A and B are shown apart, each in its own frame.
Chain A
């Protein structure tokens, strides 16, 4: 009894603090409630957004949701090793090489091209394009908007007359940049030593 009376102030103070913070936390949980799973957004931001479906999902976001639920991170073909590495970093998982089951990462970026003379205007590729990058209407010639095309390949298969080609994106002066030197043992290419000569 004596113990309780002696420490009554302390007990009351602690209880009050506990209740106060409890109320604060409860309020925060309601007020700042996060809708949806933010990790999905983060994963989605790392995926290349090709929407090609080679991972087995109809688009990048569904795959991001799949990864958030524990699916393997090595199914993104266009992203390749860089994407797997970034995902491994984000999720704290181990790096795993790309699952060959889903295909091989192409070396260059591709873009779809419709051979317009052969197009019969069936609109099948229009429906297949995940980013609405093909322009056309029934019985009218179709064409690909090159800047919007992600090179996902999904329009190639539905074409009944096989008039869609996947072409590599050509390098321009705007996209060119220096290549790394060949490394130790090789002669540096374009750098010039300045020296005094008599």
Chain B
């Protein structure tokens, strides 16, 4: 049975180097002293931890819950105790830390209650999909895309072909090869579950022709099924999803599209195996097959590793001496990246750990200028123009790079592999892609900020309009009152100043912003000057001049703003709302400002004193001065307040003499009480001025009597 195969553009044929690790059977790696499970081992939103430090967890228990659609949970790879939930180094080219759950195994390997779904064909699809999601399965080929998202076929999509990607085209890696040789039946069962979910017309298993034993094993396992094992020629990167689909079906996935657009769904061998374990055995994804290879490794081969196993420990199990370590690569030699920290854990996507000797992988030669040979364009499997993209990425002409479909680059590294000038092309593309993503995010943020700014402006305008409306109403009411009082007199001018209020408001706003901006510039300049003084650089004079200039400017801007504000406030004070209120408010504000200034000065002084600076004394003086000023303004405010209160009382008195008299009595009662208290205190302490105080008390009594009399009189009159 020969099946027509298509070819894809480009591709390279690097040395395979697979024999080193493919000839020994899969070994169990064992349990390290501690496991570090990152909460994000997939593409998408990180999972959310649901266990606490000190909790005892069982093997397969959920450690972190999926949060969102493109997210999967993480499980405990063994039973033990959670000793920490904290940021730890992870496998990431940024060498940054990420949140991890650290588990100390107890060695009991005690499972949580697990039960497979059994005969899944009598269940409905959402139940099985949920089971796969709960098992935390993410694409195990390298990218780690949550598998369940791919499996949830939309009702309007018809899947014609289901492809099992067993190509494993990257040199050195043999994890899928070994898995197929040893566990072909399980893989086929897993694939059958996937097939039941997506209902394809045909099921193809694509394997490269350099794995004859795996092909044989898979052929035997699929002998009495509708699946077909298709052998594809060895060429890198035939294991790329889009490339494999093109080879098997002749269909090309359009730029920016997904395979489901052309009726194809593609899954990895390891993923199919994990799906079988999840659905039939009820075991979540807690271990994977990882190839450990490279000339530094005495025990090359494939290991079944618990997720979260530290890489350094694992390499020790394979016999690597730390002193031999030249460099450690995670993933294959074409697409992998170097890791410098031995504490990083193995995660769901770790298909290979490569530990080459310096002779095997010498340091790359220095980058040379591009000679425009065009080799990269000949090998690009995505049919892009790598050298154009290189120029654009280098010159940061990102929109042009996007126009040349940078997003379709699969970062396979074929272009870098053939480049005679040793240009790290993929790194340029990765940089440009990241930069484009950042720009898009910033654009989104800017749009959001614009919305908020406009909403705020609209709100302010509305408030202003509302204020203006009220003011006009008041003015009208006042005018009407006056007109009633003096009908002969012509109506008072209705609206004081009709002018456009929002206009003056924007003007004010503008001035305020300008004042703030100038102030900031002045402060910046001051800072620069201070720094220059400290470092003793030359152009002090110029800087000083600049500072002086800016100070003058800032002062001018502030004055302008304050003048404008006063002007704006003046007409508002005109209407007969509360004439006595304004000066008090001004005093209040002044007092608050003085107090703030005093506090600031105090802080500055304290800082200076702590540092033992020379100008602490001057600062102290200034602080004292400010304190006095603050107190003075406070007193002024208090006086004003008292005056205002009195005025109000007097007003009330005019309106209601009875009440005024009552208040008068109460006041004198308080005075009397105070005086007698003072007298008592003086008597107790045997102070001298007792006579004087006695007189005072008597006087107060007298006054109280008088007030009471007035009150009585008034009450009688009233009655």
Contacts and interface: CB of A to CB of B under 8 A. Distances in A.
B495 interface: no
Contacts of A190: 93, 337-338, 424, 427
Interface stretch (A11-19, A23-31, A90-98, A179-187): A179-187
Given A58-B509, A130-B453, A184-B369, 6 more contacts: A49-B453, A56-B514, A61-B454, A176-B96, A188-B424, A193-B362
B334 A179 contact: no
15 contacts: A52-B517, A54-B520, A58-B509, A59-B453, A59-B513, A161-B600, A176-B92, A177-B431, A177-B433, A178-B434, A181-B427, A187-B365, A192-B364, A194-B334, A197-B359
Contacts, number: 179
A108 to B, nearest CB: 13
A132 B520 CA distance: 20
A58 B510 contact: yes
A150 interface: yes
Contacts of B430: 177-178
B39 to A, nearest CB: 11
B510 A173 contact: no
B17 interface: yes
A185 B517 CA distance: 44
Interface in A141-174: 148, 150, 153-154, 156-158, 160-162, 171-173
B361 interface: yes
Given A56-B514, A130-B453, A154-B516, A186 B367 contact: yes
Contacts of B520: 54, 103, 153, 156-157
B144 to A, nearest CB: 14
Interface in A112-154: 120, 122, 128, 130-133, 148, 150, 153-154
B276 to A, nearest CB: 32
Interface of B: 14-15, 17, 40, 92-94, 96, 98, 171, 329, 333-334, 336-338, 356, 359-369, 393-394, 413, 416-417, 422-424, 426-428, 430-431, 433-435, 437-438, 441-442, 445-450, 452-457, 506, 509-510, 512-514, 516-517, 519-521, 523-524, 592-593, 596-597, 599-600, 603
A186 B509 CA distance: 53
Contacts of B599: 160-161
Contacts of B593: 160
Q: Is the interface of B mostly helix, strand, loop or mixed?
A: helix
A9 interface: no
Contacts of B450: 44, 49, 60-61
A49 B446 contact: yes
A49 B452 CA distance: 10
A4 interface: no
A187 B171 CA distance: 23
Interface in A25-53: 44, 47-53
Contacts of B417: 193-194
A128 B516 CA distance: 9
A49 B15 contact: no
A169 to B, nearest CB: 11
Contacts of A122: 592
B452 A173 contact: no
